[in-house]
Amino acid sequence: MDFFPLYQDIVSSRSYYEEADYIGEDLDDIPEEFKQPYIVWSSDIQNKLQEVLDVSNIIFGLKQAGASYVNARFPNKKIIGTLILPEANLFKNCLNIENPFNKLCNIYFVNEKKPTLIVLCNYNISQERAYAWSRYLLSNVKTQKIIIYDTLDATEIKTDISCDGLPHPPYIRKLTTSNFESNDDIKILETPNFVQGCSASIMSWCEINNVKAVLYLSLNENIYGKSETTVETIAAYDKTFNSLVKEEALSSGSLFNSEQLKNIFKSNFVNKSNTVNKSLLYT
Amino acid sequence: MLSFIPKSGFDVSNLNNSILILPGLNNIANIGQLTIDLLITSLNLNRVGYFDSPYLLPIIGSDPYRTNKNSNFLATNIEIYQNEDKTISIIQIRSPVISKNGNTMVKDLFDWIKSIKFKYVVLLSGADASRGNDKLLESNRLKIMRTGALNQDSDFSKVIEQIEWTKIELHPEDLKENNTYDIYTSAVNIDNGINFSQPETVETGQSPLIPGCGFAYKLYETCNEGQIPLLFMMWFTVEGDNVADAFLLAKEVGKIINKDDIKWMYPESWKFLFGGLALSSLYTS
């Protein structure tokens, strides 16, 4: 369901009524071996995987907003592989592997100040599969630090709106592991808000395994009941620029100006068939 | 597949001989989870370890109990807490189990509980009061069940008798008599004028269904067969504002763990449980 106030991907904890169907046995009609994610590596790094996958930082760009910002922030990255999730719907993809509208999860390598892996994921991953996806990827790499860019839906934010009203982009919050030393002034995501899905699975792994990690969450805009990325959503991510430099993930660069931000938005979110709400896309 | 990862510096043997309290999986109104939140905040417990399971949906958030306003505390989906004197250990499960993997999760939990020598286990769950008969609705909302191993504990039996919980104790045999039809909806059908005749009972060997308990009864059964001393506390309720239910159930738990004088504090995560205040601009004239 995809209309206000009902949204997709609602996982009900009230599944107690389903227990009658499942109480007898654990049902799963697809064999386990056909559900596992797998990585296809590029031929030139097949022989030196161990060397390439021992990095200082991994940067995840999740959902189209996070992926588009990270893609623009690291223009000199080199593609080294792609992570396939068997159920991901790829039929609208084109042959150009770097097309931002392709539903893919590409893995890149960049060596700005320190060796860094970049993972840009554009396909939807259900909450039930987030664990398998994230654990498979993290079991193949070694890293000291993880930085994740993801989005928050405006309808899911719980905050006191009586004085300030509903929050609007640019609005950014973060969550860090217990061992992460913060070096920016971005606020922590306030209780009782929480995060689900792939970023939650990655951060849980980091917390449990004592790997330093930070998750940056930029707010999507609520447009006619749908959660949509705007230029301001991407602009909010740029508040992390100084952190990226301090974490030695970036060696140079500068903040994006408004023209650059609009171009990032146009190249990732506007295609020929996507002309609705034009006035809201170019604020 | 359930892995336990203790916090650095925590000795796992500190869990031995403590009372373990945990919520039922996927129970109605999340009564188990709400009660556990109250207990953790009010008893001032500290996190001592994490679990990693592929069968729970992943979630994270900042400190739900606000024990330290400046902390970098990252809450995960299943964690264990303990008090300073190591007498009470509490598992909090913050996300639902994927239904089709519920039985596997129950088995994993049972295996882990068996590996630690807990004094006994307290399992908290909601149960659906809307499907109860008149007798159920007129009685105490709390019902308990004990495993065979806990029945043999004479000290515990004395405590149960002292607080008069023998009156609210259910026995598996009582439930098994009606295992082919829903004992709860039979009353509703009669009230609605639908002709109802009790079918012949056929021994199928299946677990009785307690609506709203999720996988809690399955865990009780597994612990019963595995000789784990476990007290199953069911709180009959319906969906809605269940804060009062959690508070009442927590008070009952306090009787069992010898903590009658707890100063109850609501956790920070209960803020905006039903949304925030309305926009003040709606009311300007």
What residues 9-38 of chain A have any CB closer than 8 A to a CB of chain B? 11-28
Asked if B72 and A179 come within 8 Å (Cβ–Cβ), the reply is yes
What is the average pLDDT value for chain B, to the nearest integer?
83
- Whether B105 and chain A come into contact, CB under 8 Å, resolves to no
Task: Tell me what pLDDT residue A255 has.
Answer: 85
Task: Give CB contacts under 8 A, 24+ apart, made by B190-195.
Answer: none
Residue B195: pLDDT over 60: no
Is the pTM here over 0.95, yes or no? Answer: no
What is the enclosing helix (H) or strand (E) of A56? none
Task: Tell me what pLDDT residue A202 has.
Answer: 96
Strands, sheet with A194-196, edge to edge from the N-terminal-most edge strand: A194-196, B59-62, B74-75
Dig out the tokens for B120 from the structure: 């006994």
Look at residues B155, B208, B132, B148 and name the one whose alpha carbon lies nearest to residue B177: B208
Q: How far apart, in whole angstroms, are the C-alpha atoms of residue B149 and residue A253?
A: 67
Burial of B29 (0-12, 13-18, 19+ CB in 10 A): buried
Which chain A residues touch B96 with a CB distance below 8 Å? 11-13, 15
DSSP one-letter string for B5-49: EEPTT--GGGGTTSEEEEEPTT-GGGHHHHHHHHHHHHTT-EEEE
Q: How far apart, in whole angstroms, are the C-alpha atoms of residue A214 and residue A244?
A: 11
Q: How far apart, in whole angstroms, are the C-alpha atoms of residue A114 and residue B109?
A: 42
- Whether B57 and chain A come into contact, CB under 8 Å, resolves to yes
Q: What is the average per-residue pLDDT within B134-162? A: 86
CA B98 to the chain's CA centroid: 17
Which chain A residues touch B27 with a CB distance below 8 Å? 16
Asked if A192 and B61 come within 8 Å (Cβ–Cβ), the reply is yes
User: Residue B285's pLDDT band (boundaries 50, 70, 90)?
Assistant: low
- Whether B62 and chain A come into contact, CB under 8 Å, resolves to yes
Tell me the sheet residues that pair with A84. Answer: A38
Q: Which of A15, A28, A195 sits opposite B60 (nearest CB)?
A: A195
Task: Tell me what pLDDT residue B86 has.
Answer: 93
Domains of chain B, each with CATH number or no CATH: 15-267 (3.40.50.10900)
Q: How far apart, in whole angstroms, are the C-alpha atoms of residue B31 and residue A148?
A: 33
Q: How far apart, in whole angstroms, are the C-alpha atoms of residue A174 and residue B72?
A: 11
Asked if A159 and B95 come within 8 Å (Cβ–Cβ), the reply is no
Type of residue found at B30: N
> Which backbone phi and psi does B186 adopt, to 5 degrees?
-60, -40
Which chain B residues touch A166 with a CB distance below 8 Å? 279
Which chain A residues touch B74 with a CB distance below 8 Å? 175-178, 203, 207
Contact residues for A185 (Cβ-Cβ < 8 A; gap 6+): none
CA B145 to the chain's CA centroid: 13
> Which backbone phi and psi does A38 adopt, to 5 degrees?
-150, 155
Half-sphere exposure at residue A193, Cβ-oriented, CA atoms within 13 angstroms:
20
Task: Tell me what pLDDT residue A217 has.
Answer: 95
* CATH class assigned to A32-281: alpha beta
pLDDT along chain A (283 residues), means of 10: 42 47 52 78 80 86 91 89 84 74 86 86 89 92 92 82 74 92 86 91 94 93 82 90 79 81 84 50 46
Q: Which of A22, A179, A204 sits opposite B58 (nearest CB)?
A: A204
Dig out the tokens for A121 from the structure: 């994921």
Dig out the tokens for B184 from the structure: 């709860």
For chain A, what are the domain ranges? 32-281
Asked if A191 and B63 come within 8 Å (Cβ–Cβ), the reply is yes
CA distance B174 to chain A (A): 19
Q: Which of A33-37, A84-88, B46-50, B157-161 tops mean pLDDT?
A: B46-50
User: Residue B214's pLDDT band (boundaries 50, 70, 90)?
Assistant: confident
Helix (H, G, I), strand (E, B) or coil at A144: coil
Size of interface A-B (CB pairs under 8 A): 161
Task: Tell me what pLDDT residue B176 has.
Answer: 55
Residue B284: pLDDT over 70: no
Q: What is the average per-residue pLDDT within B194-217? A: 61
Nearest chain A residue to B24 by CA distance is A16
Dig out the tokens for A196 from the structure: 């689900």
Task: Tell me what pLDDT residue A47 has.
Answer: 78
Q: What is the ipTM of this complex?
A: 0.85
What percentage of chain B reaches a pLDDT higher than 90?
47
Contact residues for B2 (Cβ-Cβ < 8 A; gap 6+): B51, B52, B53, B55, B105, B108, B109, B111, B112
Tell me the sheet residues that pair with A223. Answer: A226
Question: Please, are residues A281 and A234 in contact by the beta-carbon 8 Å criterion?
Answer: no
> Lowest mean pLDDT: which of A71-75, A259-263, B166-170, B243-247?
B166-170
Cα distances (Å, whole numbers) of residue A112 to A74, A75, A172, A251: 9, 11, 25, 5
Write out pLDDT tens, residues B62-91: 988 876 665 678 999 999 999 999 999 999
Which chain A residues touch B270 with a CB distance below 8 Å? 192
Dig out the tokens for A222 from the structure: 């609520």
Residue B245: pLDDT over 80: yes
Look at residues A111, A133, A135 and name the one whose alpha carbon lies nearest to residue A54: A111
Nearest chain B residue to A28 by CA distance is B100
Asked if A204 and B60 come within 8 Å (Cβ–Cβ), the reply is yes
Q: How far apart, in whole angstroms, are the C-alpha atoms of residue B233 and residue B244?
A: 16
